[in-house]
Amino acid sequence: MSGKSTSGVAVITGAAAGIGREIARQLSADGLSVVLNDIKAEALSRVVDEIKEAGGVAMAMCGDVSAPGFADRMVIEAAERFGSVNVMVANAGINIIKPFLEFDEKDLNSIFSINVLGLFYCVQAAARQMIKQGRGGKIINAASAGGKRGYELLGAYSATKFATVSITQTAALEFAKHGITVNAYCPGAIETDMWGLIDEAAAKINNVAKGETLKARVAKVPLGRVGYPSDVAKLVSFLASDKSDYITGQSIVVDGGVILS
């Protein structure tokens, strides 16, 4: 992680594990106070403790971003505790891996509720606070390489991530006059529990050995390796800093070039 070069307060959702956890660690190391959100209280508490032990400033806000009103309460409490909210990383999300024809109403309501409505609420809450503060800010959304093209067995997930790209672009246009930039990161195959679930489900559906789906994906990566959460966190670090002040409305793929293959 980089040295401390940024100040302010960042809210990071879905921060108990994987990419969200690494983003939290990175932004803390960059010098930001971090407010971490997840529905997994124990795991979230461990990340908070880890950051504090490393000398950072962190607090937990356990709750469901898809619940109406929660994102606003979280941002207001963060601002009251630390004085402002300067960065929002809307990272929380879920995946459901199924053939297209097997998705039902429950699946679609669940994944759209968290990945689209929850993200939308977080963007709104952050923008309201940043506009009130009058000093601009950074909103950074979790999209996916699946928001750039469709992928087999990820029909609903990809749909939510295409929606995230659209939300990012529209919010960037509307909030630019307030000095707020809005961008998204689009991970490809990143070594996380989520990709483990994709690999396991694909193995059962396609009747192949566990690990073969990930192996096949990595074989297509021009840079020759799977991605790591730190690869995404480094991009978020840049987007959260003043180095990205003239970049907005972008959805940047982090996949080692595989989307080109």
Helix or strand holding residue 38 (H, E): strand 33-38
Which residues fall within 8 angstroms of residue 73, CB to CB, at 6 or more apart?
none
DSSP 6: -
Contact yes or no for 242/31 (Cβ under 8 A): no
> Does residue 185 carry a catalytic annotation?
no
Contact yes or no for 75/88 (Cβ under 8 A): yes
- Residue 231 has phi, psi (to 5 degrees) of -65, -40
Catalytic residue among 121, 138, 148, 157: 157
How far is it, in rounded angstroms, from Cα 45 to Cα 38? 10
Buried residues in 178-190 as b, exposed as e (16+ CB within 10 A): bebbbbbbbbbbb
DSSP 253: E
> Does residue 157 carry a catalytic annotation?
yes
Helix or strand holding residue 89 (H, E): strand 87-90
Catalytic residue among 52, 161, 204, 220: 161
The catalytic residue positions are 157, 161
